[in-house]
Chains A and B, each alone.
Chain A
Amino acid sequence: ETGVTQSPTHLIKTRGQQVTLRCSSQSGHNTVSWYQQALGQGPQFIFQYYREEENGRGNFPPRFSGLQFPNYSSELNVNALELDDSALYLCASKASGGYNEQFFGPGTRLTVL
């Protein structure tokens, strides 16, 4: 069974640029969530996708957007990057129903200069 994978592992961008992060969900999982983890803090919920539609969003501006594809993989897009966007971005997947047991990928470390 393949777990959650994310790419790239590290990324360096400059302020104002745009970035796309990718996530492949665990086999059999149809729901994907994205979290932002700033240094020294707990993960913060960005949004969730279920059946290719956004289903829940945290307190993040519209320049954070996403997609989910028919194979349940997902993208996180961030426009107009700011210095405070520097963080570890975590993707988590889960099967529908159940007890909300989410499985996390290794994350993408984004540095904005």
Chain B
Amino acid sequence: GAGVSQSPSNKVTEKGKDVELRCDPISGHTALYWYRQSLGQGLEFLIYFQGNSAPDKSGLPSDRFSAERTGGSVSTLTIQRTQQEDSAVYLCASSLGASGIRGETQYFGPGTRLLVL
């Protein structure tokens, strides 16, 4: 069906508030990734979900960041007590997630632009 969708497309929040970012992957894709991209920078890996396996959280920058994936589909990235340095574009990507396959093509969503004032 449709590509990866993310919401909201833009979010402005005040320092110290919590935010939730949503990602809806391509139907049938079992692998889901969250990345952060600061202005003019590359993509910083945050977290990776594969099916029912425990997520790879090695990229989360602090314990203020958490993510969950319900029913193996939609994922929510939560940032608690936001700081100004959290301002960035948060990108979600999904892939088929077939095991034993060389690194698969990731399909990216349009991103959520987060601004923390």
A binds B: no
